[in-house]
Every structure is written in C-alpha cells, then in structure tokens.
C-alpha cells in the first residue's frame, strides 16, 4: 500500500515502532540509543514517546531546546539534534492513574495530528507497555514500516512480548526482529553470567520467524554502541527492501489488492458493505443495493481500509486480515 495515513498527515517517511508488551525491559533505552545511532548516520530523527503514564524519554533524551506551541501546531523538543515529543514536557497531559483510555487516546491523537516534525526522515515510536487502547490507537493512526520487539530472557517478559507480536501482526504491521535486553553480564575476567536465564529472544525469533537482532548485556559496555549501529543498519535495510500491498480501483463496482506476496484479490464494493461491522450495522438488518459504487478508499494505518460508498453505511473499517481471509 502506498505510504499514507488516514488523515493525510505530514509525517516522516520512515516510521518504526519499538514494542515490548511489558514494562521494565529497557525498551525506551533501545529507542533512545537507536535514535542516536541513526543520527550519527546522518539521518534527521524524531522520537514520539507514547507512554502517557510513565514517560521516560525526557530523561533519556533531555531537551536542549524545549517544545513550543504555535497556534494548533506542536513543535517537538530538541535533544542532541533529535526531535522529541513526550507527555513529560507537558505536565497537564501526563496521565495520572485516573485518566481513562478515551482521554489518553485523545492526547496521543493530538501528539500525532498536531506535531510538526519538519524535515525528519525517521520517526521512532516508543510504545507504552501492554497491548491496550493506546497501542491500538498508535497502530491505527500511523503507518508503521515495521516494529522492533524488545524482551528479556525471563519467561514473563517473553509471554508479554508474544502478545505484543501477535497484536502487531493482527494490526498488519511487519515485524523487523527481536532484541533481547539484559541478556547477561560480564565479570572481571570476561566470563558471561545469565541471571535471568537464556534463550528468550531466540524462542520469540523462532516462533514468529523473525531475526534475533542481538543480545544486549546488562550495563553500558562500550560494545553496545556498535550493536545499535548494527541495529540501525538492519532497520534501514528492512525499510528499503519492504513490500507493501497495493490497492487498485478496477471499476466503479470493484477494487483489488495486490498483496505483498504477489497474490491479487478482487472485491465487489456491495459485498464488502454487507460485511460492515460498525455498531449501527451490527444492530440492524443491512440492506445493500447491488449497484453500490465505491467513491473513495481510505487507508487506516497498517490496519485496513475504510470505504466511502455511493449509498448506505460508510462507517465500517475493514481489516486487512479480514480482506485476506475473504479470498482464501
């Protein structure tokens, strides 16, 4: 699918999410160090901190220049030449325990829709822990080129990372690979010790057929800097070689999708409208005119599409997973 977002937002051309499913695994540190590595390679980089309840990016990338609000535009803070948007810069937007998901989603949407990223070439999104509403909002609002998973060797972290990987695939975003953090520590003689066990990243890699991008030791050994340069190279390589599905309007009554694996599926607008799963259509008998036409197809992030029909309901969102299943 051609690079676009539902609201036709002006966003950097390469958007990469970093996701773990569990807090405390060092995901935000991976984001900050990857941003620095990309910056060293000459890229103009932005970082969006998606964690409203425990934002840490201001600590990891402290501002040299604070963010500013001009009219309806939010200009990110600047840190080491990296553009950073985080709720930590706006105390009134940080989510105390009592903030419900709809309000949190509104704040995230505001950061996405009103942030002025300028000439940024790469946007890294630091996902909050879990697989809830904010994560889904980010997936729906942004067209992710890919997702990097972060886990530790511990079984609990692995379980949560598995849920995060499944959500990513359900939302239609590619998995770039997995990073195992806190894998081991080195003693004074260079020996490796594994206090949290071994093999968590490898298990995740094999389960989802994605690369194990590396195992990061505990602490800030100098070797880590080389790892993040390698990670940056991998992310850029994956983005360069990625394949997207392409949506084509065949005629007023049909459209097709050319999938990333070469398969082509043809759909009739009227048949698709019959499968609308919006709340209104779920609660009433649907009457679809056979001659219904498609006026517009609107991409919804990596998740799916929304169609504007010539008559009847146009509120439904049709996931790519559902569309693919219709042609099996």
Q: Phi/psi at 41 (nearest 5 deg)?
A: -85, 0
pLDDT value at position 310? 94
| Four-residue CA torsion sign, 46, 167, 129, 234 | negative
Q: Report the pLDDT value the prediction gives residue 9, as an integer from 0 to 100.
A: 64
Q: Which two tokens stand for residue 24?
A: 């405390």
**Cα–Cα distance, 6 to 308 (Å, whole number):** 13
**How far apart (Å, rounded) are the C-alpha atoms in residues 151 and 200?**
7
Domain spanning 246-325, CATH class: alpha beta
| Structure token digits, residue 89 | 């810069």
pLDDT digits (tens, 9 = 90+) for 17-50: 999 877 888 899 999 999 999 999 999 999 999 9
Per 3-state DSSP, the chain is made up of helix, strand and coil in percentages (nearest 5) of: 35, 25, 40
Output Rg (C-alpha) for the chain, integer angstroms.
21
Q: CA-to-CA distance for 299 and 308, rounded, in angstroms?
A: 11
- CATH class label, 14-241: alpha beta
Q: Is 301 exposed, middle or buried (0-12, 13-18, 19+ CB in 10 A)?
A: buried
Sequence-distant (≥ 6) Cβ neighbours of residue 105 within 8 angstroms: 133, 134, 137
Q: What sign does the dihedral 57-58-62-64 (CA atoms) show?
A: positive
Domain with CATH 3.30.2020.30 in the chain: 246-325
Which residues of the chain form CATH 3.40.50.300? 14-241
Going residue by residue through the chain, which has 328 residues, state the pLDDT in tens, using 9 for 90 and above: 334 444 556 789 899 999 987 788 889 999 999 999 999 999 999 999 998 888 889 999 999 999 998 888 889 999 999 999 998 888 755 544 455 667 888 888 888 888 999 999 999 999 998 877 888 889 888 888 889 999 988 777 888 888 988 888 877 788 888 999 887 777 777 778 777 777 788 888 888 888 888 888 887 544 577 889 989 998 888 777 666 678 999 999 999 998 866 789 999 999 999 888 787 887 776 666 668 999 999 887 666 788 999 998 998 888 877 887 888 6
Q: What element of type H or E holds 151?
A: strand 146-151
Determine whether 206 is exposed, middle or buried from the number of CB atoms within 10 Å of its CB (0-12, 13-18, 19+). Answer: exposed
Please tell me the distance from the alpha carbon of residue 99 to that of residue 101, in angstroms, as a whole number.
7
């Amino acid at each position: 699918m051609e690079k676009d977002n539902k609201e036709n937002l002006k966003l950097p051309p390469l958007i990469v999410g970093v996701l773990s499913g569990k807090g405390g695994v060092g995901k935000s540190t991976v984001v900050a160090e990857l941003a620095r590595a990309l910056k060293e390679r000459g890229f103009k980089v932005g970082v969006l901190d998606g964690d409203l309840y425990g934002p840490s990016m201001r600590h990891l990338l402290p501002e040299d220049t604070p963010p500013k609000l001009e009219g309806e535009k939010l200009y990110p803070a600047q840190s080491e030449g990296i553009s950073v948007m985080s709720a930590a810069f706006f105390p009134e937007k940080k989510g105390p325990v009592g903030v419900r998901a709809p309000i949190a989603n509104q704040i995230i949407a505001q950061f996405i829709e009103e942030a002025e990223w300028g000439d940024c070439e790469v946007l890294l999104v630091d996902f909050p822990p879990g697989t809830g509403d904010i994560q889904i909002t980010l997936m729906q609002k942004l067209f992710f080129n890919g997702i990097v998973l972060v886990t530790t060797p511990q079984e609990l972290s692995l379980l949560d990372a598995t849920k995060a990987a499944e959500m990513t695939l359900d939302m239609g975003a590619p998995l770039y690979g997995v990073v195992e953090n806190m894998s081991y520590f080195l003693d004074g003689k260079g020996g490796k010790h594994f206090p949290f066990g071994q093999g968590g990243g490898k298990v995740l890699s094999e389960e989802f057929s994605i690369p194990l991008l590396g195992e990061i030791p505990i602490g800030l050994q100098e070797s880590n800097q080389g790892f993040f340069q390698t990670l940056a190279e991998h992310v850029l390589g994956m983005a360069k070689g990625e394949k997207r599905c392409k949506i084509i309007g065949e005629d007023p009554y049909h459209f097709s999708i050319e999938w990333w694996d070469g398969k082509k599926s043809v759909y009739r607008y009227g048949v698709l409208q019959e499968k609308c799963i919006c709340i209104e259509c779920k609660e009433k008998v649907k009457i679809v005119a056979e001659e219904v036409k498609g006026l517009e197809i609107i991409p919804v992030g990596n998740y799916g599409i929304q169609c504007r029909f010539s008559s009847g309901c146009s509120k439904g969102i049709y996931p790519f997973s559902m569309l693919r299943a219709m042609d099996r």
